[in-house]
Amino acid sequence: MAQHTGTDQPATRFRRLLHIDLDQFQVSAERLRRPDLVGAPVIVGGDGDPSRPRQVVTCASYEARAAGARAGLPMPAARRKCPDAVFLPLDMEFYEETSAAVMDVIRSFGHPVEVWGWDEAYIGVDPRDEPATLDAHGVTELAHSVRRAVRDRTGLPCCLGISDNKQRAKMAAGFAKAAVREPDAPDEARVFTLDDGNWNELMGPRPTRDLWSVGPKTARKLADRGIDTVAQLQAVDRDDLIALFGPSQGNWLYVLCRGGGDDAIATAPWIAKSHSKSNTYPADLTSRDDLSAAAGELTREVLDQVIQEGRIPFRVGLTVRTSTFYTRTKMRKLAAPGTDYDAIAPVVADLLDAFDLDRPVRLLAVRLELLDP
């Protein structure tokens, strides 16, 4: 779950950024409750039943990944690849509590923190418009202090990447995660610095796909033109990249392959623009009565969450996915913003009636878009 902290406030630029990455977060959290799972293949997803084909893996331990299980894989496929794994259900409330405890530890060091979900955050060190307080050694020591504090106060392992922008810091954390999976790797390997001094040496020979934000489609488009590595991408003229990808992505690739990126931290709390609840049903829904009842139940669930947070919905969305995986979403504005179920439920019902449902339905989702606080 890697959603970044959104804010309309201006962000502060920093000389150094630390990216903290909690290893196999959901598995590590579960192992806090069950130490007997340490070292065992563990797979988390859905209600923990690996026989259900419509549930997928959300987190797999490194032991399970070695057998071929991975996030996004249907649970039955994960069981076939790793039959000895322990399968556990998602416990969202526990993960949120555990993550919040980690973020509190990070914030206790007094540096600005931008949270990117349960298992990721950025720490800003030394604003660029102020005198520097830490040299490279001091930043490294800070990273190790954060790592030890998270481990000692929450029991969770983490890796930290250090660089001068978010993209390189995240890739640096990736190097740290790879290093600690080696046999007998020391804890010190959990901190890694990636900057101008080692960028070309470490990243130049690597495939372009290893650049953060370069997806498979972009990598294929580059490969079709003989550009397979980061070093080869660096050799491409900026104008050629713009001609191939457009001004926005072309300029971004030109900067990214040279180690550039975003050096700003936004510290304002993340404010959700909407909340939603969805359900993939064990058996397809075919009757209108069943569909109406399911949509009403989802509406109550998401509305309860909105009310608990003191938010006000103003627009409703309904997503329908049929047995053929055809997926559509319809939106409708409420007559007036409010939290009255009796006012919202008829709008959801009208949205459902607007669908021409000639196929069984496997998934429904109700979304409430919210007024700003």
- Per-residue pLDDT reduced to its tens digit, 280-289: 888 999 999 9
pLDDT at 3 exceeding the cut of 60: no
Average pLDDT rounded to a whole number, residues 127-142: 94
Sign of torsion over alpha carbons 299, 302, 306, 312: negative
Q: Which two tokens stand for residue 278?
A: 């969805």
Per annotation, catalytic residue among 120, 182, 188, 301 = 120
User: Does 323 or 26 have the greater pLDDT score?
Assistant: 26
Residue-level length of the chain: 373
Q: Which two tokens stand for residue 82?
A: 């790793």
CA distance 219 to 11: 30
Model confidence pLDDT, tens digit, residues 213-252: 999 999 999 999 999 999 999 999 999 999 999 999 999 9
- Looking at 66-75, 86-95, 320-329, which range is the least confident one? 320-329
The angle at the Cα of 131, spanning 125 to 132, to the nearest 5 degrees, equals 40
CA distance 257 to 268: 30
**CB-based burial, 186-217: b 16+ in 10 Å, e otherwise:** eeebbbbbbbeeebeebbeeebbeebeebeee
The whole-chain average pLDDT of the chain stands at 92
Q: CA distances (Å), 296 to each of 95, 277, 335, 346, in order?
A: 27, 11, 18, 9
pLDDT at 294 exceeding the cut of 60: yes
The angle at the Cα of 6, spanning 45 to 306, to the nearest 5 degrees, equals 65
pLDDT at 205 exceeding the cut of 90: yes
Q: How confident is the model at residue 270 (pLDDT cuts 50, 70, 90)?
A: low
Contact call for residues 318 and 352 (beta carbons, < 8 A): yes
Model confidence pLDDT, tens digit, residues 28-54: 999 998 999 999 999 999 889 999 878
- The verdict on whether 120 is a catalytic residue reads yes
CA distance 108 to 105: 5
**Cβ partners under 8 Å of residue 370, min gap 6:** 272, 273, 274, 275, 306, 311, 312, 313, 314
Q: How confident is the model at residue 4 (pLDDT cuts 50, 70, 90)?
A: very low
- Looking at 114-128, 135-149, 247-261, 265-279, which range is the least confident one? 265-279
Average pLDDT rounded to a whole number, residues 260-287: 85
Q: What is the pLDDT of residue 324?
A: 83
